[in-house]
Amino acid sequence: MEIQFLENKSILLTGAAGFLAKVVIEKIIRVQPNVKKLYLLLRAEDSSSALHRFNTEVMEKELFKVVREKYGAKLNSFMEEKVCVLSGDITCDWLGLKTSILEELFEKLDFVINLAATTDFDERYDIALRVNTIGAANVLSFSKKCRKLRMLLHVSTAYVCRENEGLILETPINEIEGVDIEEENQIIQQNLQQLQAHAASHNHITSVMRDLGLQRAKKYGWPNTYTFTKAMGEMVLGRFKENIPLVIIRPTMVTSTLKHPFPGWTEGVRTIDSFIVGFGTGRLTCYPGDPQSILDMIPADMVVNAMIASMSSHVDKTTRLIFHVGSSSSNPAPYHQVRDNIVRFFTEQPWFRKDDTPVVVRRPTQLPTRVAARIYMELLYFIPIRILGIVNAASFRYFDRIYLDLSKKANFLLRLVDLFSPYVFFTKIFDDTNAEKLRNAAKETSGDIENEILNFDPRSINWDDYLMHTHIPGLVKYCFRR
């Protein structure tokens, strides 16, 4: 079934090598072969390097196996006709593109989809601000030059809401009290100049820039650098959008594909996946988080379906529209339900170590508050590590292996608690009124087959079945390493 509105349309997609971008590319190629042109922006030294990167980092993924089966020997000619890979960078003016390419894009583009982002929670502040905030401004400036642009679709995150509690509405970020982006950039540059003046090493600069990002984020009420810089990116878009048709998609925790092109495809380890990997490989014996809290998860293909539905329903509208794409409002998944499925899966299907011995898992200790997590780490790890460090030094490092192993486990748990506390001690519900209206509108204007292809209704997800038979097996297949 073809999605009619994408027929004969030209689309620019930034961040084309990213996880969600791959799912978008695959979807369009698979369901709408009559798209006019897909322009894909990747960071690379030149066009040949960009094409090589696209072929190796995107098209060779198993995600595209259905596309390869569908087109067969015709795939190469189809890709040459429909796909144009561009070497560029959203942190540069005009996306770092050559003048000749710019003129073509300004003339032909119907849609711009901004998926370029750095999603590390504790990314260097200079990098995160440059990509997530200044990059968004650059994409907006570029979009304003596109003569027949019908929409700029910007993918953000639901967690731009700071650490507020209760019901989080689908409202725009117009201003952030006390935050001046130019001032933030100046603070970064001052710190970098001081570090360079003292000939600081690359690792030291990285550490300082990471700490700076977390400090600035927490000062203004965000849990990490990622959500803070994404919020500033939204602020820039809202402040300078003028008459540009703008839609902002705010997904929650994005997980593996539910159905399309097949169940369970994923890439990388994000948020709750860190706990699954840690528990399944034996590095995590506890679960920080309130068991009654809600883990707001949404499969990647549903996020992409929401993106395409919003493109279809809201072209040419100059108002700014925001959609939460998540599950906490319509089909909440309690943390204890997710935890129990993780335990059950690895009890029934244990992970095997390099020496082919199974990792035996036991029901983890639940740490329902941040205080409980800190006390647990202190008693189980940090006090023994301090004692063992003294003994190890006195015995000429005889206990080095035990000491290092315990330190690694402690640091792993500490990182999980620090970075993911806002998500596992979850007190928010993301309102999805706008998304529900979008779902209803899509159902009214589409046939049954197209509704299935573009389904993003979280009420259709059975969490027990999805976790046991789709998400965790997919994570084991694509992300676990022996």
**Catalytic residue list contains 230:** yes
8 A C-beta contact, residue 123 and residue 226: yes
The Cα–Cα gap between 118 and 128 comes to 6
Coil/strand/helix, residue 20: helix
Q: How does DSSP classify residue 92?
A: S
**Catalytic residue list contains 74:** no
The Cα–Cα gap between 382 and 391 comes to 14
In the set 9, 230, 241, 409, the catalytic residue is 230
Tokens for 54?
């696209």
The Cα–Cα gap between 464 and 384 comes to 38
The Cα–Cα gap between 293 and 425 comes to 6
Q: Tokens 């369901």 correspond to what residue?
A: 31
Q: For residue 51, what are the contacts with CB-CB under 8 A and spacing of at least 6?
A: 85
8 A C-beta contact, residue 14 and residue 139: yes
Q: Which of 204, 201, 241, 208 is nearest to 225 (CA)?
A: 208
What element of type H or E holds 280? helix 272-280
The Cα–Cα gap between 166 and 156 comes to 20
What's CA 98's distance to the chain center, in Å? 29
Q: How big is the chain by its Cα radius of gyration, in Å?
A: 23
Tokens for 160?
């731009």
8 A C-beta contact, residue 17 and residue 323: no
Report the b/e string of 345-370 with b at 16+ CB within 10 A. Answer: bbeeeebeeeeeeeeebeebebbbeb
In the set 125, 226, 335, 381, the catalytic residue is 226
Phi-psi region of 316 (alpha: psi -120 to 50; beta: other; left: phi over 0): left
Q: How does DSSP classify residue 167?
A: E
Tokens for 389?
């460090």
Q: What are phi and psi of 129, to 5 degrees?
A: -65, -40
Q: What are phi and psi of 389, to 5 degrees?
A: -60, -40
Q: For residue 345, what are the contacts with CB-CB under 8 A and spacing of at least 6?
A: 280, 467, 468, 472, 473
8 A C-beta contact, residue 142 and residue 95: yes
* Active-site amino acid positions: 226, 230
